[in-house]
Structure 1
Amino acid sequence: MKKLVIALLLSALASNTTHAADLGGKLLKVGSDTTSPPMESVDPATNQIVGFDVDVINAICARINCQTEFVTTGWDGIFAALDQGNFDLVASGVSITDERKKAMDFSEPYIVNSQAVLMRVADQGLSIDEFKAKGKKLSAQANTTDAQVAEGIVGKENVIAYDSFSASVIALKNKDVDGVVINGANAAAYEREFAGELVVAIRDLESDPLGLVFRKGDPNIAAFNEGLHAIKADGTLDGLVGKYWGQK
């Protein structure tokens, strides 16, 4: 699928398939903003947290002998909650940035994600240049790289940041803004949810590597990186990308 806006990061893989990391069956709590399918969401039928990040974490834990308990946490407080010890790591489609690395540690990247713009169906012909030239307004979830991308397109004065992505979508439907910068990994899910009303009309904007987030100095990072290498090397990660986005 040529327009898929998520791809495996092409990183060097260790050729040695012997894995020494063993966390001894430890139960790790994982913080996640479970409002972003298919990365993570709550299945209404089972009330279980499901998604790509859940499957990635569980696949890694199968290699390094740990168990997981996902904890739904709002995005606006997720890193503070990690720092306070409410959980052991964050798996929530988090972009690795230099600014964030000052306050937290990341695993190696597991995928690369590209931002896109969600629009009303009637406006789907608008280009990035028209957004810039016509003073169009964009919204995004606050404190995300999506918001930074939006500011880069139309200027900070034309961006309205909301505490949740759902609030950004409501603003778009109410015509308070002309587009929402969206995490590209979630684009297809939102097109389905709002079919006939909203559409992802601009794709493949800036790309970010995504990583798992740990408190500074957490010794478990090395084990998770080892597990990540293992699921890349044996094709498990490829298979999960195929499961959620239809291609390896």
Structure 2
Amino acid sequence: MKRFLTAVAVTVLVSGAAVAADLGGAHLKVGSDTTSPPMESVDPATGKIVGFDVDVVNAICAKINCTAEFVTTGWDGIFAALQQGEFDLVASGVSITDERKKSMDFTNPYIVTGQAVLMRVEDQGLTIDDFKAQGKKLSAQANTTDAMVAADAVGKDNVIAYDTFSASVIALRNKDVDGVVINGANSAAYEREFAGELVVGIQELESDPLGLVFRKGDPTVDAFNEGLAAIKEDGSLDQLVDKYFGIN
């Protein structure tokens, strides 16, 4: 886990720049799946949406004079809802891919993680080669880069995709599958939640840069890039990485 966190700390990719952008106090709605702690989730005690993505967006808004209201939205419809104007941007641990860039705009990456495989404790030590040789099944949330990584790793026939990430974890616990491909940024939270039962057995399958998502051509993305550069430059982003992913 230390290796993963070191990679996060040194591979946040933004360019330093003075902040000139001012959104004039604009109130922005932010779509988020809110099912992937510590990136974003709903606090059961307060009902509020909390997490790393929430704090990053709020820190950027503090630099460029805007406020953010997070809106829970299912992953399957999140990009369509953005295009339809239901909110102004998406912050939901979204991987930047060439295919997605054809229809939407991304900020510069605010964090780079490595995808990993969550597995049962008794299977710890298995490698991807073991999965392929033994015909073991991987699962992932459908229509995500995790699902694509899983298919690349063990072949499409050995991947079962579920509508939600939680369904993938349930399948793993029920022994319907043998591993779940997960964004490395979320892996520690699930190890803690299922301590003694599930463990991250394989790390850093692929590098995965994450960005905030806007409608194609939205000039607000430039302001967010300036704010992102500012929170990198003043150390605020590093502090948030430490808060959510640091070793205690």
Give TM class, smaller chain.
over 0.9
Aligned-partner Cα distance in 2 for 1:2–1:209: 17
- Residue 59 of structure 2 is matched in structure 1 by 59
Aligned-partner Cα distance in 2 for 1:195–1:174: 16
- Residue 139 of structure 1 is matched in structure 2 by 139
- Residue 83 of structure 1 is matched in structure 2 by 83
- Residue 50 of structure 1 is matched in structure 2 by 50
The residue type paired with residue 2 of structure 1 is R
- Kept in 2: contact 1:8–1:111 (CA 8 A): no
Q: Does 1:241 align with 2:241?
A: yes
Aligned-partner Cα distance in 1 for 2:12–2:87: 30
- Residue 186 of structure 2 is matched in structure 1 by 186
In structure 2, the CA distance between the partners of 1:117 and 1:237, relative to structure 1 (3 Å rule), is: same
| Aligned residue-pair number | 245
Structure 1 SS opposite 2:38: coil
- Kept in 1: contact 2:131–2:154 (CA 8 A): yes
Cα displacement (A) at 1:152: 0.9
- Residue 34 of structure 1 is matched in structure 2 by 34
- Kept in 1: contact 2:140–2:182 (CA 8 A): yes
In structure 2, the CA distance between the partners of 1:224 and 1:143, relative to structure 1 (3 Å rule), is: same
Cα displacement (A) at 1:12: 5.8
- Residue 232 of structure 2 is matched in structure 1 by 232
- Kept in 2: contact 1:8–1:110 (CA 8 A): no
- Residue 129 of structure 2 is matched in structure 1 by 129
Structure 2 SS opposite 1:113: strand
> 1:89-108: per-residue Cα shift (whole Å, max 9, x none)?
00000000000001111011
Aligned-partner Cα distance in 2 for 1:100–1:136: 30
Which deviates more from structure 2 when the two are superposed, residues 91-100 or residues 199-208?
199-208
The 5 Å alignment of 1:147-186 reads: 147-186=147-186
Return the TM-score normalized by structure 1.
Answer: 0.96
Aligned-partner Cα distance in 1 for 2:215–2:88: 8
Aligned-partner Cα distance in 2 for 1:8–1:38: 19
Which deviates more from structure 2 when the two are superposed, residues 120-129 or residues 182-191?
120-129
Larger helix proportion, structure 1 or 2? 2
Q: Does 1:9 align with 2:11?
A: yes
Runs of 5+ unmatched residues, structure 1: none
The residue type paired with residue 13 of structure 1 is S
Return the TM-score normalized by structure 2.
Answer: 0.96
Cα displacement (A) at 1:174: 1.1
The residue type paired with residue 111 of structure 1 is I
Aligned-partner Cα distance in 1 for 2:206–2:73: 26
- Residue 216 of structure 1 is matched in structure 2 by 216
In structure 2, the CA distance between the partners of 1:229 and 1:115, relative to structure 1 (3 Å rule), is: same
Structure 2 SS opposite 1:117: strand
CA RMSD of aligned residues (A): 1.2
Aligned-partner Cα distance in 1 for 2:199–2:139: 15
Aligned-partner Cα distance in 2 for 1:181–1:11: 24
Cα displacement (A) at 1:13: 2.6
In structure 2, the CA distance between the partners of 1:152 and 1:195, relative to structure 1 (3 Å rule), is: same
